[in-house]
Structure 1
């Protein structure tokens, strides 16, 4: 097995699984829970902000929403892939730490970045769900990493 197969692929694969779990959780909950976090809105706002600063016209809302979801999956995959820096025996703790840090960042950073605070922290329950869901993504990443590294 090459180094690529031993290190990078399990890390990216695990990160992708965690990112997909997180995105499915966000997208399902936003349709069912009134105060659910809206990572999709943060993504849309971020893309609009970047495009407008480059004097580019953002796409229509439906397409922009798709871009935001795709961007979330890619960025969260890369972030959760940092689990590859851990030893497999430390995967659970590393995944939990990655998830908690991402969740706290998702609550605390949108305001200072000019994206608004309501999508991830409009209520205490929204903030708690935001942190909890990123934690679940980190734990899913850890489980996938442990499985892939043991194969």
Structure 2
């Protein structure tokens, strides 16, 4: 049951991160546009196999799917404990690691990085990942408590 609970919790965190990101991207000036990172990764991958990019909506959909999947995997790794001190350290560590990875990847993939090029965007990205980590561990603990009843 724990593997299923970790998977559900990881997906919940990834969806929370993605949902908040999409809301802020549409409603807040100067919000990060993390989609650019995934879209550039998709385009680069397609170029390497000589596949033409013909539909930007498909690139966006592939990027979103990849983002959700990779974030779900990241967050599911933290959902392994119900011990309070471990929860705090794993949540902070995973959230900060995810944010640092995304910010670093944006710098690597996007030559003219507009996704996370300001301090505001970097802090918002960090907040998104911390939120995803908190949601993941919360869902995991809820599921674990319910499965023990």
TM-score (norm 1): 0.88
Cα deviation 1:49-86 (Å, max 9, x = unaligned): 011011112341112111111111111111111024x3
Does the 8 Å CA contact 2:37/2:105 hold for their aligned counterparts?
no
| TM-fit CA distance, 1:127 | 0.7
TM-superposed CA distance for 1:13, in Å, is 0.5
Pick from 136, 145, 150 the counterpart of residue 145 of structure 2: 150
TM alignment of 1:34-45, pairs within 5 A: 34-45=29-40
CA–CA distance in structure 2, aligned partners of residues 141 and 92 of structure 1: 12
Q: Which runs of 5+ in 1 are unaligned?
A: none
Q: Secondary structure at the match of 1:88?
A: coil
What's 2:98 paired with?
102
Aligned to 2:81: 87
Whether the aligned pair in 1 keeps the contact of 2:13 and 2:72 (CA below 8 Å) is yes
Q: 2: CA distance between counterparts of 1:149 and 1:140?
A: 14
Q: Does 1:33 align with 2:28?
A: yes
Q: What residue is the counterpart of 2:6 in the other structure?
A: 11
Whether the aligned pair in 2 keeps the contact of 1:97 and 1:138 (CA below 8 Å) is no
Match of 2:135 in 1: 140
Change (3 A) 1:137 1:19: same
CA RMSD of aligned residues (A): 1.4
Aligned length: 143
CA 1:59 to 1:147, structure 2 compared with 1: closer, same or farther past 3 Å? Answer: farther
